[in-house]
């Protein structure tokens, strides 16, 4: 949806087809974190991953002010910062690194009097840093993006749709059967941005590459009545956070703590009940003064879809490239929410390099596309609303 808005802003004619609900799957299951990579420095050094996305928070903030390549004015920010905290003095090496010039302006030490409410307890003895990262209300951002391009978004039923590739040109056309009428969608480029759905789409068009990999998670959701909204990474012995907590409002006025980090990455094969027990123990260990005895608990398994990497490595940047065997198909994965702007820039570069550009002399006319007799998709509800009811 970011790409759709970006294409229109550049003068392209573009349509988006969604088979379920907008943002369903990986997007709406994210924690909404727009981060600059400091959480990838937990080994005490800057990395390719941390540097690749260092500019992303500023990019999103520009858009939220209406000064970027996509207009996100009116988008809701749940938190304009994120905390990095240690439960003990075991993170001394990292503390020294965060205090160095390398992270200046990206991580600032928090004094005792300025600690977040959750950590304002005599039992807390660790160190806390404040990051420039922010947390967005993802369903709200999705709705905003959809509203700005609503006339170009349609729902597609793959039982009544198919791709047709012409052997002589390699170009692929989308055919949609609609009540006896066939809609033929011909375009200079078909762009697959369906997350893990890209795998099936690439098979449908007979593409031989790129391949996809899945990085599974099982996250824990804790619904409680505490007023403590908290957004933080707890440091551990690993190069990923021991525990990540983000807070999300529910329709009934309560809130959910959404738990990620190592506990989510290492638990994909665990039964839900076992993982919940582990999460209860972890929170009791790290935040023993917070009473969650009356809280409701649930888990969510989700696959992060990425282009296949050597040794199953985590990609540093968004990915977009022409599919092999299909002259007009681009496969694209942002790899993480933060990199949605980066993904759009990569796609635009591919189009430009191939000479696919809008007619800027007739820019208003370029945006006019015929209305299709197809239904409109809804916005996917957040997983905690599904887990705990509305």
CB 323 within 8 A of CB 329: yes
Q: Angle at Cα 376 formed by Cα 375 and Cα 380, nearest 5°?
A: 135
Query: What pLDDT is attached to residue 169?
Result: 82
pLDDT tens across 372-382, in order?
999 999 999 99
150-154, 177-181, 209-213: lowest mean pLDDT where?
Answer: 177-181
Would residue 258 count as lying in a domain? no
Would residue 306 count as lying in a domain? no
Would residue 104 count as lying in a domain? yes
Would residue 17 count as lying in a domain? yes
Query: What pLDDT is attached to residue 279?
Result: 97
pLDDT tens across 76-135, in order?
999 999 998 987 655 455 555 555 444 444 678 899 999 999 999 999 988 898 988 899
How many domains, the chain? Answer: 1
CB 36 within 8 A of CB 136: no
Query: What pLDDT is attached to residue 291?
Result: 96
Higher pLDDT, 390 or 108: 108
Query: What pLDDT is attached to residue 102?
Result: 42
CA separation, residue 255 to residues 76, 245, 290, 316 (Å): 16, 12, 15, 32
pLDDT band (50, 70, 90) for residue 361: low
Would residue 76 count as lying in a domain? yes
Would residue 187 count as lying in a domain? yes
Helices (H) and strands (E) in the chain, counts: 11, 19
142: pLDDT strictly greater than 60: yes
Please state the rounded mean pLDDT for residues 66-83: 95
Classify 85 as helix, strand or coil: strand
Would residue 251 count as lying in a domain? no
Query: What pLDDT is attached to residue 367?
Result: 52
CB 291 within 8 A of CB 277: no
pLDDT tens across 273-318, in order?
999 999 999 999 999 999 999 999 999 999 999 999 988 888 878 9
Would residue 338 count as lying in a domain? yes
17: pLDDT strictly greater than 50: yes
**Tokens coding 367:** 């945006």
pLDDT band (50, 70, 90) for residue 362: low
Please state the rounded mean pLDDT for residues 308-331: 91
CATH number of the structural domain spanning residue 81 = 3.50.50.60
Other CB atoms within 10 A of residue 165 CB: 18
Domain extent at residue 86: 1-212+318-390
């Amino acid at each position: 949806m970011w790409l759709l808005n970006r294409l229109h802003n550049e003068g392209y004619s573009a349509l988006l087809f969604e088979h379920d609900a907008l943002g369903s799957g990986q997007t709406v299951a994210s924690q909404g974190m727009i981060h600059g990579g400091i959480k990838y420095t937990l080994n005490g050094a800057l990395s390719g991953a941390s540097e690749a996305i260092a500019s992303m928070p500023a990019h999103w903030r520009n858009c939220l002010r209406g000064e970027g390549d996509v207009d996100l004015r009116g988008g809701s920010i749940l938190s304009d910062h994120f905390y990095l905290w240690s439960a003990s003095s075991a993170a001394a090496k990292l503390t020294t690194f965060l205090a160095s010039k390398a992270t200046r302006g990206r991580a600032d030490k928090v004094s005792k009097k300025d600690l977040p409410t959750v950590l304002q307890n005599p039992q807390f003895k660790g160190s806390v840093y404040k990051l420039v990262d922010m947390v967005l209300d993802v369903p709200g951002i999705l709705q905003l993006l959809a509203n700005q391009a609503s006339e170009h978004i349609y729902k597609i039923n793959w039982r009544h749709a198919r791709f047709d590739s012409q052997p002589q040109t390699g170009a692929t056309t989308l055919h949609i059967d609609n009540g006896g009428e066939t809609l033929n969608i011909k375009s200079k480029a078909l762009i697959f941005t369906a997350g893990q759905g890209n795998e099936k789409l690439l098979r449908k068009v007979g593409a031989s590459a790129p391949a996809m990999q899945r990085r599974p998670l099982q996250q824990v959701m804790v619904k409680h009545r505490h007023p403590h909204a908290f957004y933080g990474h707890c440091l551990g012995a690993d190069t990923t956070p021991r525990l990540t907590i983000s807070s999300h409002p529910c329709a009934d006025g309560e809130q959910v703590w959404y738990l990620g980090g190592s506990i989510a990455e290492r638990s994909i094969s665990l039964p839900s009940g076992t993982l919940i027990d582990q999460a209860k123990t972890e929170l009791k260990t790290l935040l023993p003064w917070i009473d969650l005895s009356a809280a409701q608990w649930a888990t969510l398994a989700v696959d992060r879809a990425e282009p296949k990497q050597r040794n199953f490595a985590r990609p540093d940047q968004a990915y977009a490239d022409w599919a092999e065997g299909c002259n007009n198909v681009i496969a694209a994965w942002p790899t993480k929410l933060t990199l949605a702007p980066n993904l759009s820039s990569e796609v635009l570069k591919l189009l430009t390099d191939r000479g696919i550009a809008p007619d800027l002399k007739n820019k208003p006319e370029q945006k006019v596309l015929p209305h299709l007799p197809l239904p409109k998709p809804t916005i996917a509800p957040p997983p905690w609303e599904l887990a705990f009811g509305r």
